[in-house]
Amino acid sequence: MGTPAFAVPTLKALCEAGHNVVAVYTQPPRPAGRGQKEAITPVHQFALEQGLPVYTPESLKSLETQAVFAAHNAEIAIVAAYGLLLPKPVLGAYPLGCINVHPSLLPRWRGAAPIQRSIMAGDRETGICIMQMDAGLDTGDILMTETYPLPEGSSYGMLHEFLSEKAGPMIVRTLEGLRSKTITPVKQADTGVEYAKKITKEETQIDWNKSAEHIYHHILGLNPFPGAHFGYGGEIIKIFDATIDTKASEVAGTITDTMLGIACGSGVLHPTILQRPGKKRMPVAELLHGFSIPVGTTLI
C-alpha cells in the first residue's frame, strides 16, 4: 500500500525477494502537469510493469472496500507513504496486521512530512522505523530501526531518495524477522514526540526575521518542492540552496552586497541557486545578470 516514488523501492524489494504480492493499493489517478491530464501514481506504474493487480479506492471506509481488502487473504499488509487512513477493520484484516515504513526516528516526527521537518529543524541524524500500525497517528510498536547521520547541506530531495532506497532491504529483513519470530516489538517512548504537520503554502515564504541558520535549513527542507521563496518586483523568487555567515547584519531582509547577500534576524544568507517564475534554476550570478536587486533594498 503506497503512492509516491518513495514507496517504489519497497515494492520492488518485496518482488525481488520472492514475496507473493497479492494486491497493490495506491491512490487513484489525479490530474497532473500543465495539461492536467490524469496520471497514475509511481507505485501504480511499477505495479503494472510487474503484472500485479492494482486497487485504487478513494477511501477504505466503506464495508464493500473493506470486504475486498480482507478477501485477498494476505498474511500482512506493507504500508509506505500510502496517504489514506486505514480503519480498524483494515488494520486487523490479516494475521500479522499492517506494518508501516516511516522515514524518521519515532516518536520524533510523527505525521505527514517527517523528512522535510527533520531537515527544517536542523536535525543531525535521521532514520527509518518499521512500525506495527495501530489506530493512532504513527504510535504503534517499533519492529526495526536504522539510524543514519544527516549531513549538513542535505536537501529534502537528497534525503528522500536515500531513505527510500534504504527502506526496501529493511522491510525484507523485517518480514524475515517476523516469520522467524526473532523480532520483539518495542513500545514508543512517551517523550521526544514531535508532529511533522503537512507543509502549508504560507510556510514557503521566507521570514527574514529568523536566523540565517534557521532560514538555510528551511530552504533545504523545501528543496526541490515546493521551494522556499521571497517576493521582489512583483515576482515570486525561489531559493534552493545557499550559504550563511554570522557577521553582524543590518535590518532583516536588507540586501547587503551585490551578490544578493540578505540580512536575517541574525547572520546573513547568501543564496546560491534561485529560480524566477517560468525560468530554470540558476546560479545567483546568472539570475542577477539583467535582473538587479540593489544593495540596500529591503525584502518583505
Could you tell me the CA-to-CA distances from 25 to 101, 168, 173 in Å, in that order? 15, 17, 22
- DSSP-assigned beta bridge partners for residue 31: 38
**pLDDT higher than 90, residue 49:** yes
Q: What is the pLDDT of residue 300?
A: 77
Question: Residue 226 has what DSSP assignment?
Answer: T
Q: Collapsing DSSP states into helix, strand and coil, what is residue 245?
A: strand
Q: What is the pLDDT of residue 36?
A: 81
Helix or strand holding residue 154 (H, E): none
Q: Could you give the CA distance from residue 292 to residue 99 in angstroms, rounded to a whole number?
A: 53
Measuring CA to CA, which residue among 17, 138, 164 is closest to residue 86? Answer: 138
Q: Collapsing DSSP states into helix, strand and coil, what is residue 65?
A: helix
C-alpha cell at 246: 554570522
Measuring CA to CA, which residue among 157, 184, 193, 181 is closest to residue 6? Answer: 157
Q: Which domains does the chain have, with CATH numbers?
A: 5-195 (3.40.50.170), 202-288 (3.10.25.10)
Count of residues for the chain?
300
CB atoms within 10 A of CB 283: 13
**pLDDT higher than 80, residue 156:** yes
Q: For residue 140, which phi and psi values (nearest 5 degrees)?
A: -70, 170
If pLDDT is split at 50, 70 and 90, which confidence band does 34 have?
Answer: confident
Helix or strand holding residue 218 (H, E): helix 212-221
Overall average pLDDT of the 246-256 stretch:
87
Q: For residue 247, which phi and psi values (nearest 5 degrees)?
A: -65, 160
- DSSP-assigned beta bridge partners for residue 144: 130
**pLDDT higher than 90, residue 290:** no
Q: Could you give the CA distance from residue 261 to residue 233 in angstroms, rounded to a whole number?
A: 17
If pLDDT is split at 50, 70 and 90, which confidence band does 37 have?
Answer: confident
C-alpha cell at 18: 520472492
Q: Could you give the CA distance from residue 77 to residue 69 in angstroms, rounded to a whole number?
A: 10
For 215-245, what is each residue's pLDDT tens digit?
999 999 999 999 999 999 999 999 999 999 9
Give the position of cell 514531535. Answer: 194
Query: Is 224 in contact with 156 (CB distance < 8 Å)?
Result: yes
pTM: predicted TM-score of the whole model, two decimal places: 0.94
Measuring CA to CA, which residue among 98, 180, 187, 111 is closest to residue 145? Answer: 187
Report the range of poorest mean pLDDT among 183-187, 245-249, 255-259. Answer: 245-249
Measuring CA to CA, which residue among 68, 109, 69 is closest to residue 91? Answer: 69
